[in-house]
A and B are shown apart, each in its own frame.
Chain A
Amino acid sequence: MASSTTVENRGVLTVLSEQKVLLAILIIGIALSFASPYFLTYYNIVNIFSFMSIEGVIVIGMAFLIIVGELDLSVGSNMAFATILAITFQKYGVAAGVIAGIAGGTVVGIVNGFLVTRLKLSSVATTLGMMVALNGVVFALTQSRSVKGTNPDFLKIAQPVVLNISGSIIIFLILVIAFQIVLRRTYFGRSVYSVGGNSVASRLFGIKVDRVRVACFTIAGVLAGVAGVLLAAKIGVASGRLGVNTALIVITAVLLGGVSLSGGEGSVVKAFLGFLLIAILNNAMVLLRLSSYIQDMIRGGILILILVIDAINVERAKYR
């Protein structure tokens, strides 16, 4: 059903859907620059990337998971978990905070991976449980309050480094490039596509299918940890209310980028473009002063719309 996207075998539709996102970004961008003189300013563009830099890190991990044919609904709680760990440990030094946050996220990712592969549970149900449980853990650790970070060195991670560009934006962009290379140019990356495309065939070809799946969950966990640390540095506060909408936004971004929910195709860059489109729409909604309630609605509506378009494309591809 899902054709593989090697360079020589690119379907017309895949190329088109790739361009569709870019096209949408351009059209909306041009329309916005007319609607608001503020849109195309340097400050605003940095602002868009700053919005992307936290949850964008999670988008990378979710892209790996969706390509391998799994889903993780616990990324938001996991990010909040990493945030409270980072905030708790940054008292003992910057490194302690960073390591604690990333380690926490990683452990959650590994646990998710083992639950899904060893016990053969559905990833949606498992990570749904993990999401609820972790949310409780975060509330327990914060004692249902907002916990403040105090170490100024730690908070510097998110401060502007050069030309108003913050450290988190740079880290985010480096991670996008690094993981795109991992996905496209390594044996592991090819196994991710292969397992997502056809896990039974992959097993017969000698790919350690479960190990690839656990690795993808772990990557998602590590990146949720990184996002949590960046978030902790950016806002300097941890609370149980963080990350409530994250899973929705991140999954929408990956699907919007043209990564198919049926697995086996897509890329980190596609997911990045999907999130860029969301970030621009978000920026537009702020610039046009739409209420946050309407923003929520539009986001949910977009998710449903993409699913429908994706389904129509798959259906058409069948009869091509």
Chain B
Amino acid sequence: MKSANFLVNTWDVFRRRPQLLILLALVVVLSIMTPSFATIGNVINIFKQVSVIAIVACGLTLVVVSGALDLSVGSAVSLLTVVSATIQLNNDLAAVLVPLAVALVLGLFNGLIITSFKVNPIIVTLGALSVFAGAALIYTNGAIIIGIPGTWYSFLGQGKLVGVPFHVVVFIAIAVVCEVVLSRTKFGKALIYIGTNGEAARIVGIRTRMVRIVAFLISAVSAAVAGVILSSRMNSGSPVAGVGFEFDAITAIVIGGNSLTGGRGSIRNTIIGVLLLAVIVNALTLYNVPFAFQNITKGFLIILAITVDVRARSKYGK
């Protein structure tokens, strides 16, 4: 790997990332079979469909790399999207800033409980899922909040920048930021160390508690961004808008080749996972496969991906 840095063997890339090979193969096959697939319009369409989930998945990846899991992101999106939608009735700027502030509270809630009491993050965030979902429904009393159209706020979810939807630009920006944070900063390294061996990371002087809390904060903030975009795009806030997002995001993260047990992963993997999932769903839709089978496929993909992950780890002796 050292000597071949610049002569990257394509085969090696594919061997290390079979997901990429599958994604490319699917894209090629679909382009040949359906002429409408490989058009710029359809590509933008796919990106449009995935951007909200992808934003959630990018933030969640940092949590997953640290060896934890956040099941509450979907409910957080629901809560933050209705918060944004109600505030937008009065003030556009506050409709963007307040959800971000609320997200910090939600992330702090998860992070503090998990790190202070050393409790299982999956179960804590399963509880938080219920609390946030309930809060969203109570906040609007189950109703959908209709926003005011035609302000700059609507541009966030509906506007275009040189032909590309603005929320896709946001998604790409967040992906780049998260990738840089994860692979180029001390904080990112710390996340990987903690995911590999939390105790060892603590002993070598990493402030594990702080780092893990920040990961949850980032995950919640990305949920806020997704919530604001969703509210702007739909021009309304639904208290059940984010139901199931956590599963889609986790599915994307896992099938992209990130390890659910932590210590190994990248935003690139997550993006590949998000796109792979989108292309598979797109293909299923193109061939009129009933909606229900999409969930079956997703479930099996999760199990398949974690099997591959465990196999790979035992092979290379992580």
Contact = CB atoms under 8 A, between A and B. Distances in A.
Interface string A93-132: 0000000000000000000000100011110111011111
Residue of A129, A130, A137, A296 with most partner-chain B CB within 10 A: A129
A7 interface: no
A125 B254 contact: yes
B46 interface: no
B306 A126 contact: yes
A138 B130 CA distance: 23
Contact of B303 (A126, A138, A140, A144): A126
Contacts of A296: 130-131, 133-134, 137
A205 interface: no
Contacts of A302: 127
B180 interface: no
B14 interface: no
A139 B75 CA distance: 22
Q: Is the interface of B mostly helix, strand, loop or mixed?
A: helix
Contacts of B23: none
B173 interface: no
Contact of A248 (B126, B295, B300): B126
Nearest to B295: A136
Interface in A233-280: 240, 245, 247-248, 251-252, 255, 261
A115 B303 contact: yes
A221 to B, nearest CB: 16
A307 B120 contact: yes
B291 to A, nearest CB: 7
Contacts of B298: 132-133, 136
B117 A307 contact: yes
Contacts, number: 146
Contacts of A303: 123, 126-127, 130
A301 B314 CA distance: 38
Contact of A261 (B120, B292, B302): B120
Given A140-B293, A302-B127, 10 more contacts: A119-B310, A132-B298, A133-B295, A133-B303, A136-B298, A294-B134, A297-B130, A300-B127, A307-B119, A307-B127
25 contacts: A119-B311, A120-B314, A121-B303, A122-B261, A129-B302, A131-B299, A132-B247, A132-B251, A133-B295, A133-B300, A136-B295, A136-B297, A136-B298, A139-B292, A140-B290, A240-B292, A248-B126, A261-B120, A261-B123, A294-B138, A296-B130, A297-B131, A299-B130, A303-B130, A307-B123
Interface of A: 71, 115, 119-122, 124-126, 128-140, 143-144, 240, 245, 247-248, 251-252, 255, 261, 291, 293-304, 307-308, 310-312, 315
